[in-house]
Chains A and B, each alone.
Chain A
């Protein structure tokens, strides 16, 4: 894991405070991801707007979820883009509603088996996602968050740095490879 104090939030003025996300290189992702006992993937509303050469970020998330054995929560705006026959559970829940549940340590989770310990954020509206991560940062010490979007999210525990599209795309596929998936 590489730490850097020089990385700036993507939205320049989004300076949040003394505690900022540790930067995460895609090659270190798997090591971190494998520590999760109850992982969850959260797909934000901009998922379908991020081309990056990926034909469909939703399909990517399904592949990631399959490898992580994690359910997906999709923002209602993108929920309909997931194939109904996806072999991983996909829930259409408003992100604010979800985060409100996540911050309760005793929440039973989407399957009734308890809250999650590592939550991956992907495809979010930058400023909105930043604030949802802020809620978890302050009020959900039982959860670690990872932002794997193109842009640095200081309120996450771990975040990619700001990347251009091709590097980000390469990074996302590297993550799959490291988790044992096929490119």
Chain B
């Protein structure tokens, strides 16, 4: 449906009734049918349209709250003590307040992605025009599965995405209003609203990435895209360096364009941190990627960048002061981060360059990406030679502060991962820097230790100094973000995924707040790829998977193909490219199973929950955006496993495998109620260790629709991983065995003995599958 407005103009109309001149009628929307799929039941769902689906999910996957704080401080009645059943002055209890906080977090994420989509869309419409076609390549005909499923439109041009963004903004405003004092009062309804916010977030992701792939010519699902340099050591410091930090690619891509136009491409290093880096590498493979958010502070503190362009999202709040301390000039570029800088948007380029180079101002706000590009390049080229001379080694100064340490432990107690920084500093005092160098591998660069040190020891600088050789050699390869999963790939893998013959899709997504460094993430990806799961990655996780070499010296992107297929690892791109992972699940429902997706959210979600064995692992989830992306995936029936820091989101969605009544569903063929087992058992689960995450993932990909062959393959992996990592067979495996044919052949006798001890009985396998939606059971049944 094209949602364009129509204008009817009548210059002159004479009738017996009246004479009209110069009449113009503006009709709000004209439905121009270019899509033969019938409109589904829920186009542009309101806050409550999908509430019944949410409550169905929440009945099975109950919210599990872990309050980070026992108080509510959101209004002037507070602080209110909500400990263990106490109510606040407005009547709220701790569970409801946690639901409210979860909704607020999801709204932060959804609003951020929506603003991102609005910015990128406005930029691209200005650059390419409203009629610029949405084109994801010949092998992607189903180009916007989330938008189609949620909004019920099939956008053909950039301009047609605008109404989607308007919808998102309006819904987010309504949801935010529900968080005010005196509004929503039930925790389940807060959760339903959080699920709605998550869904909106997922739509926003898709708007952004579909727009930028079409408007900037990013890869369109090519599995063999370029390998990109990634790591703290990839930047050539002999050249002027421009560092782009954030998520909005526009200022960075304009910078690359400017360099090309001026014949300077290759003479200036353009490097990125976080998702801007992903997208710059999708734009021009010559871009260097420093790494994820967790490398930001240390790289900025290294002073390697001459100019730092910051755009939006995941930019450290102290980025300007830290950069300026090293003489790095900063250009803020987007309304969301003005960073206290003077607004030079309308100043001449010469003026801005002159002021930055002279140091009269160390940072500016320029809300025009084209102008940013020229200013950044000219300033970097002018500043670089001088800065290189000024950047004298500070090593002696840093080391001189080591003896000030009193071993007060404040650094360690401030560290989110309880790293023994104090001990390492003591070793440094004795002349051994190795413990500090070891900490580098586990440090997430939050800088809390620096703030906590009462003696002013520059601990992060010290860690950098100790690990300098390691950092210098930190050079890896990452495959550029490929963008969408091609329809042809879905045709190949749809059936084996739904039948269970490919054991599952494991998506590594989210930020870099890991409990034990990034290596664990790569080890997990390696294990699942080796077991022939389909492994996909995005955002910081996709970067961290690259920061690891196997015994043969290969990174995982060199070791495994980049297809969406068994035994491959596909990097889809930045965090907005998560839309393609979620979209792939929808595509399976549509392309393989022929389910109508147009405005048909509930049915598609029910299909995914019951049949598509996809699980996301957000091992270092930190940002509110990770919460909203994950919650959107949950509404579509995709479970998410979080690392231990993820418990600070305060809410999981946990099922209970031991409560058999929770796992009933409609048998699609007979219409009867049938037990389908705890598959998947949880929608959000926080795992404490890598081992737990892996075993849980192997369990959560199990779906009621698995054929016996598929269930056998999934069970084989679950049992084998459990035995390998825990040393035993899982206690609950009998819950997933429906008939003896489900049992792995090599273990059948052993498992049958256990099943007999557990008094296991064979269960029905619904011939045509199962559903949670009564309306999907044919009437004859």
Contacts and interface: CB of A to CB of B under 8 A. Distances in A.
Whether chain B is bound by chain A comes out as: yes
Given A12-B413, A100-B64, A101-B656, A131 B81 contact: no
A126 interface: yes
Given A17-B71, A94-B696, A79 B688 contact: no
Interface stretch (B155-163, B488-496, B723-731): B723-731
A44 B515 CA distance: 14
Chain A, interface size: which category?
A: 35 or more
A4 interface: no
A141 B81 CA distance: 16
A12 B647 contact: no
A59 interface: no
B725 A138 contact: no
Contact of A77 (B81, B410, B413, B690): B690
Most chain A beta-carbon neighbours within 10 Å: one of B70, B648, B725: B70
B66 A18 contact: no
B726 A80 contact: yes
A125 B515 contact: yes
A15 B726 CA distance: 34
B84 A80 contact: no
Nearest to B727: A80
Given A19-B70, A141-B84, A100 B692 contact: no
A138 B644 contact: no
A149 to B, nearest CB: 11
B723 to A, nearest CB: 10
A125 B688 contact: yes
B564 interface: no
Contact of A12 (B67, B83, B94, B452): B452
Interface in B649-677: 650, 652, 654, 656, 658
A80 B688 contact: no
Given A80-B726, A131-B648, A45 B66 contact: no
Contacts of B695: 76
A10 interface: yes
Interface string B670-698: 00000000000000011111111001100
A131 B688 contact: no
A127 B413 CA distance: 11
Contact of A134 (B66, B414, B658, B728): B66
A127 B686 CA distance: 13
Contacts of A19: 70, 81, 83-84
Contacts of B644: 45, 125, 127-128
Contacts of B515: 125
A13 B727 contact: no
Given A18-B81, A125-B515, A127-B645, A12 B410 contact: yes
Interface residues of B, number: 46
B68 A44 contact: no
Nearest to B686: A96
A76 B83 contact: no
A138 B688 contact: no
B731 A127 contact: no
A138 B731 contact: no
B64 A135 contact: yes
A27 interface: no
Contacts of B727: 79-80, 84
A75 B725 contact: no
Contacts of B689: 45, 75-77
Contacts of A76: 687-689, 691-692, 695, 725-726
B441 interface: no
B700 to A, nearest CB: 12
Contacts of A137: 70, 83-84
A128 B686 contact: yes
B458 interface: no
A129 to B, nearest CB: 9
B69 interface: yes
A86 interface: no
Interface string A40-66: 000011000000000000000000000
A87 interface: no
A170 interface: no
Contact of A126 (B67, B418, B686, B731): B418
B85 interface: yes
Nearest to B692: A76
B651 to A, nearest CB: 10
B725 A95 contact: no
A104 B410 CA distance: 38
Contacts of B725: 76, 80
Contacts of A11: 413-414, 416, 418
Contacts of A67: none
A111 interface: no
Contacts of B687: 76, 94, 96
B190 interface: no
Interface string A80-102: 10001000000110111101110
B686 A16 contact: no
A45 B690 CA distance: 10
B688 A12 contact: no
B64 A92 contact: no
A19 B84 CA distance: 10
Nearest to B83: A19
A152 to B, nearest CB: 11
A17 B692 contact: no
Contacts of B645: 127-128
Contacts of A30: none
A36 interface: no
Nearest to A125: B644
B83 A127 contact: no
A183 to B, nearest CB: 28
B601 interface: no
B533 interface: no
B718 interface: no
B65 interface: yes
Most chain B beta-carbon neighbours within 10 Å: one of A96, A128, A135, A139: A96
Contacts of B95: 138-139
Interface string B47-82: 000000000000000001111111100000000011
A179 interface: no
A19 B81 CA distance: 9
A7 interface: no
B215 to A, nearest CB: 42
Contacts of B71: 17-18
B85 A141 contact: yes
B654 A97 contact: yes
B70 A128 contact: no
Contact of A94 (B413, B452, B685): B685
A77 B688 CA distance: 8
Contact of A96 (B418, B452, B656, B685): B685
Given A76-B725, A96-B647, A18 B688 contact: no
A16 B83 CA distance: 10
Given A96-B64, A138-B65, A13 B414 contact: yes
A132 interface: yes
Contacts of A10: 413, 418
13 contacts: A12-B410, A13-B414, A17-B82, A18-B70, A45-B692, A77-B688, A77-B692, A92-B728, A96-B685, A128-B647, A128-B686, A131-B68, A138-B67
Given A17-B71, A134-B70, 7 more contacts: A12-B414, A76-B695, A76-B725, A77-B692, A94-B687, A96-B687, A125-B688
CB-CB nearest 6 A-B residue pairs:
A17-B70, A77-B689, A80-B727, A131-B66, A76-B692, A128-B644
